[in-house]
Structure 1
């Protein structure tokens, strides 16, 4: 599944330590501000825009939510802005907004270590407090883009997909696709051919999580 940015949040708004939701909300000015990050997450679930326990998509800004299980903020939850290109990750929250941190967190673990609380990742959301941040690129748009590319080059454009999972059986796997079908690259020699090590194809590379790959192509059963 492909996502496009509808609103890019402003991560440079001022914030206060402990005011994570206010910091995130101020970055997009949503219509239905909630009192806590936990209630904001519940609203996202009620609006069917939450993705519980899913890794955030790549190359777009989204809000990520956490449950706080101990300490003075237990039950209030935590929210932050997340962006990753598959190589580097940036997570911004009110600690950055208030100046306590001079740079974003580089991972969820980095944030956990900084906070010092017992926390649990809840998931990510397409919208925050009633304001949409990302949306799915419609299948018709994807096909149109593929067709335009095909018309321009006179052939179907193939590309490689590198799986960015941190763990699990799909970690590090490569697939090749023409935008309609997808198949697993089974040998290092095949991969080298696609990567132009033998002077043949030199395909571009997209990075995504296995969950995104299977959703885009209708499930693992459709991948050869």
Structure 2
């Protein structure tokens, strides 16, 4: 009888031990203390990283940031090269325009001087147009017009476009040179008008060159495309 009571009492003690441990009481046996410590370790690891894990996360973030910066620099370098190539083309177009205009103006000046000596007949005009000087005059004018069209497609810069308009207008006024062909070029007043206009042509093309140098020398600080 007493044996059964003792066994029953031991069973009751064993049944109560998990309740004491789960209620936060101090465990009585080493294996229970170990289980609780492991449980606390698992809870702690759920929100804390080890030094190695933190280092991996930091390394991955740094690698991603480095890749983004490298890609950004590559794009920036490519865009800078593209803009420099565009400026180079525009400088070349303007230089050729100004050179052609200078040659064209010098030829017209020679014609004005020659018309002061004698009246040009139709045969003289035809002969001169077919000469090397006449073909060069036509070629220079064609180059001015062709490069002006290309430059308009290359740049939206307002200063360049205004200067280009003025230059093209200056060489698109053929009636100014009528005294050369109609025989009135021998009159001092008529030649004076031609000379003044030729000087004006030189000034406007020189202005185009100076504006081109200013606009195309360096990239625009405000991001404006030349």
Same-fold call, TM > 0.5?
A: no
**Which of the pair is proportionally richer in strand?**
1
**Which of the pair is proportionally richer in helix?**
2
Q: What TM-score results when the alignment is normalised by the length of structure 1?
A: 0.24
Q: What TM-score results when the alignment is normalised by the length of structure 2?
A: 0.24
Structure with the larger RCO, 1 or 2 (CA within 8 Å, 6+ apart): 2
